[in-house]
Structure 1
Amino acid sequence: MSDQFAQRMHKRERILGYWSVLDAPVVLERLGRIGFDYVAIDGQHGLLGYSGILTGLMAIDAGAAAGGTRTVGLVRVQSKDPAVIGQALDAGAHGVIVPLVNRPSDALEAVAAAKYPPLGIRSYGPMRSQLRIGPIPAEADASVVVLAMIETREGLENVEKIAAVPGLSGLYIGPSDLALALGARRPDDPDIAEDFAAALDRIRAAADANKLPVLIHTPDGESARRRLAEGFTGATIASDLVHLEASARNHLDIATHA
């Protein structure tokens, strides 16, 4: 079913994803067949443009089909701009992760950009997405997910109101920016550990109160496992560029210290 991923999100089932910043369709094709619930393409900080997002989403679909998985492609867009969100969805994304959602009005605008009238303002032109999600606006509206990133002090202060915005599919925590917003010198600064933990609790509570899933970005599988055990609905493991370097470095260390 085209809306299976959206339904799983709505039911707050546990989901795991992977993060990609490279313009490398062959890599995304391989990631699509592993078995992640989603692979997120970073259109904000990633090293790729719109053509890379398009070919990346196609590669994820191809990998999922070849591997028999239900992996879908998401896009972290640059902003809540309707043109940016519309392009990502027209390219075939099952959903968007929207950065810098600081106020309820930001979340309302993001949801409106992802939905067709009368629910939103998305311009009709589904392009590639109609191959999988369908050209009927109501089907697309039911199938697309919109995740609001909570990553600033203002977003944290308004998280209860943001979580209550109609049509929002879930909250997504950007831990690095959130830590910096709380006064950290660097993302893993131990001096703000208590404040950071309290912020995570507040975001989870806001999501729970509105029956929304809450996802968090993590650096590795162990961190993702721990976050899921803490009660997060989902976790993203990041990212292809970082893990490629870490794996290569590990192999070099093994070879040179034999």
Structure 2
Amino acid sequence: MIEDFVRRVRSREAVVGYWLLADSPVMAERLATGGYDYLCLDQQHGLMGYHGIRDGLLAIDAGGGLGPRPTVGLVRTAANDPRCVGQALDAGAAGVIVPMIDDAEAARAAVRHAKYPPQGRRSYGPMRAELRRGPDLAVVNDTTLVAVMIETASGLEHVEEIAAVPGVDALYVGPYDLALAIGDTEAALKRILLAAHDNEKPVGIHADDGAMAAERLALGFDFVSIEGDLVHLEQVAQSHLDRAHRRERNSHAS
């Protein structure tokens, strides 16, 4: 399942995922049955620590084979450091999305954190990961997805060099931080797409909803994360409350 997912991303097939902020394995399991290609657990801005990541990945595994298509778990790590990256992969993530990549050296560091020697410096302690990929570390290296985030002015300035780093499988745009850093992102998004695709690498990005996800894919993005659980839960709950109040008002009016 993981091998096929990683192959699809690397070959730039259209892939759609969903973003999770809440530390709720029950919700992760339920969403994993829906047919998303991946669910991404957000350790950087989400409400979860290591136990939340571990339990969320367990839940995605439990639900991911029950839906219309397999679903795997990714982790957006809290930082670009060996502990965060290694823990996410040891817990069973199919890959990592590493934030705040400013230059090629930071991208190379992300690869080192995610790969076992000789490609990297990941410490051997696979925990759940070995159950899912086996003990052959060459296979593990080959089937671990490493995406690095372009979301800063420096990252955009060095995007061509970042995209060329061996072992970086994909670029991932953080559109909100990028907009905070540079303002209008239209030209920046085109530059990121060009840099990645010139290096035969896919590009992912956030989307607020399904309609925006379709627009992102039409613009040339290869995978999209629809976000996210807390916002959508609030929106749906509010829409039901609004409908209930409208019905109540209409009944009183009649």
Give TM-score scaled by structure 1 length. 0.94
Tell me which residue corresponds to 1:155. 155
Q: Which one of 229, 240, 246 corresponds to residue 251 of structure 1?
A: 240
Tell me which residue corresponds to 1:114. 114
Tell me which residue corresponds to 2:251. none
- 2: CA distance, partners of 1:153 / 1:11: 28
Equivalences, count: 247
1:98 aligns with 2:98: yes
Kindly indicate whether the alpha-carbon contact (under 8 Å) linking 2:205 and 2:223 is maintained by their aligned counterparts in 1: yes
- 2: CA distance, partners of 1:225 / 1:126: 36
Tell me which residue corresponds to 2:175. 175
Per the TM alignment, residue 127 of structure 1 is displaced from its structure 2 partner at its CA by 0.7
Helix, strand or coil at the partner of 2:100: coil
Tell me which residue corresponds to 1:237. 226
Tell me which residue corresponds to 1:138. 138
Per the TM alignment, residue 31 of structure 1 is displaced from its structure 2 partner at its CA by 1.0
Q: Which protein is bigger by CA-based radius of gyration?
A: 2
1:73 aligns with 2:73: yes
- 1: CA distance, partners of 2:116 / 2:4: 19
Tell me which residue corresponds to 1:57. 57
Kindly indicate whether the alpha-carbon contact (under 8 Å) linking 1:32 and 1:69 is maintained by their aligned counterparts in 2: no
Residues 171-223 of structure 1: per-residue CA shift (max 9 Å, x gap): 0000000000014xxxxxxxx3xxx1100000000011100000110110000
Q: Which one of 202, 205, 210 corresponds to residue 216 of structure 1?
A: 205
- 2: CA distance, partners of 1:85 / 1:223: 29
Q: 1:147 to 1:65 in 2, by over 3 A?
A: same
Residues 95-139 of structure 1: per-residue CA shift (max 9 Å, x gap): 000000001000000001111101100111111011112221111
1:34 aligns with 2:23: no
Q: 1:68 to 1:224 in 2, by over 3 A?
A: closer
Tell me which residue corresponds to 1:187. none
Tell me which residue corresponds to 1:188. none
Aligned amino acid, residue 218 of structure 1: A
Q: State the 4+ residue runs in structure 1 displaced beyond 3 angstroms.
A: none
Kindly indicate whether the alpha-carbon contact (under 8 Å) linking 2:37 and 2:71 is maintained by their aligned counterparts in 1: yes
Q: Which one of 164, 172, 189 corresponds to residue 200 of structure 1?
A: 189
Helix, strand or coil at the partner of 2:128: helix
Give TM-score scaled by structure 2 length. 0.95
Kindly indicate whether the alpha-carbon contact (under 8 Å) linking 1:86 and 1:122 is maintained by their aligned counterparts in 2: yes
- 1: CA distance, partners of 2:136 / 2:208: 38
Per the TM alignment, residue 68 of structure 1 is displaced from its structure 2 partner at its CA by 5.5
